[in-house]
Homo-oligomer: A and B are copies of this chain.
Amino acid sequence: MAVMSEHTNPFHDTSPRPHQDERFLRHEIQLVNRNSGIALEALVHDLTPVGLHYLLTHFDIPNLDRETMRLAVSGRVKTPLELSVADLEGMGVETRTVTLECAGNGRNLLAPRYPSNPWGCEAVGTAEWTGVPLNRVLEQVELLDDAVEVAFIGADRGFDRGIEHDYGRSLSVDHAMRDEVMLVTGMNGMPLLPQHGAPLRLVVPGWYGMASVKWLTRIEVLDKPYDGYQQAVGYHYRQSREDRGVPVREIRVKSLMVPPGIPDWFTRERMVDAGTVRLMGRAWSGNGVEIDRVEVGVDGVWHAADLGTRADTYAWTPWQCNWQAVPGEHELCCRATDANGDEQPLEARWDHTGLGNNCVQRVRVTVR
Binding site for B on A (CB under 8 A): 19, 22-37, 39, 41-42, 44-45, 49-53, 55, 57-61, 63, 108, 115-116, 118-120, 122, 157-160, 164, 193-196, 259, 262-268, 271
Contact = CB atoms under 8 A, between A and B. Distances in A.
B264 A158 contact: yes
A129 to B, nearest CB: 15
Max count, chain B CB within 10 A of own CB: residue among A39, A118, A157: A39
Contact of A29 (B24, B49, B264): B24
Contact of A42 (B115, B158, B195, B263): B195
Contacts of A194: 42, 45, 49, 52
A30 B63 contact: no
Contacts of A28: 24, 29
Contacts of A157: 262
A29 B26 contact: no
A115 B58 CA distance: 28
Contact of A33 (B60, B119, B158): B119
A82 to B, nearest CB: 25
A195 B39 contact: yes
21 contacts: A19-B26, A23-B23, A24-B28, A27-B267, A28-B29, A29-B32, A30-B120, A30-B268, A36-B55, A41-B61, A42-B194, A45-B194, A49-B194, A51-B193, A59-B262, A115-B266, A116-B265, A116-B266, A158-B262, A159-B262, A160-B265
Given A41-B63, A50-B193, A25 B27 contact: no
Interface of A (DSSP majority class): loop
B36 A33 contact: yes
A140 to B, nearest CB: 32
A63 to B, nearest CB: 5
Nearest to A267: B27
A115 to B, nearest CB: 5
Given A50-B193, A194-B45, A34 B264 contact: no
Contacts of A58: 265
A61 B51 CA distance: 13
Nearest to A114: B266
A31 to B, nearest CB: 7
A32 B193 CA distance: 22
A34 to B, nearest CB: 5
Contact of A61 (B26, B35, B39, B63): B39
Contacts of A263: 59-60, 158-159
A29 B63 contact: no
Which of A33, A53, A122, A159 counts the most chain B CB atoms within 10 A?
Answer: A33
A118 B29 contact: yes
A262 B167 CA distance: 12
Nearest to A264: B159
A195 B60 contact: no
